Amino acid sequence: MNFQPLGDRVLIKVKEQQTQTASGIYIPDNATQEKPTQAEIIAIGSDVKDVKVGDQVVFTKFARSATVTLEDIEYLVMETTEILGVLS
């Protein structure tokens, strides 16, 4: 993949939502209306300092982002100010 975010932007891949609970109950697609808020950082811009490629991050539910499809996979591009923190 040849994509380099500019400035303080990051390219992230959103984690798939679980469709089954811990007890084995399947959740239908129409029951999960909320936007997922966890993702993995795939690429970072030159001005990014607080996160690195491979970090698992949490971002705001209503983050300003752009959807980009690269090699048939959907990613989000957003500014680092939309990221709330890094999961350890």
Task: Report pLDDT for 21.
Answer: 67
Q: What is the per-residue burial (b if ≥16 Cβ within 10 Å, else e) of 44-80?
A: bbeebeebeeebebebeeebebeeeeeeeeebbbbbb
Please check the confidence at residue 9 and state whether its pLDDT lies above 60. Answer: yes
What sign for the dihedral angle of Cα 35, 75, 62, 53?
positive
Q: Could you tell me the domains of the chain?
A: 9-87 (2.30.33.40)
The string of pLDDT tens digits covering residues 20-76 is 667 777 666 555 555 668 999 999 999 999 999 999 999 988 889 999 999 999 999
What sign for the dihedral angle of Cα 8, 56, 74, 15?
negative
Q: What's the predicted TM-score (pTM) here? A: 0.78
Taking alpha carbons only, the member of 31, 15, 24 closest to residue 74 is 15
Task: Report pLDDT for 2.
Answer: 87
Task: Report pLDDT for 72.
Answer: 92
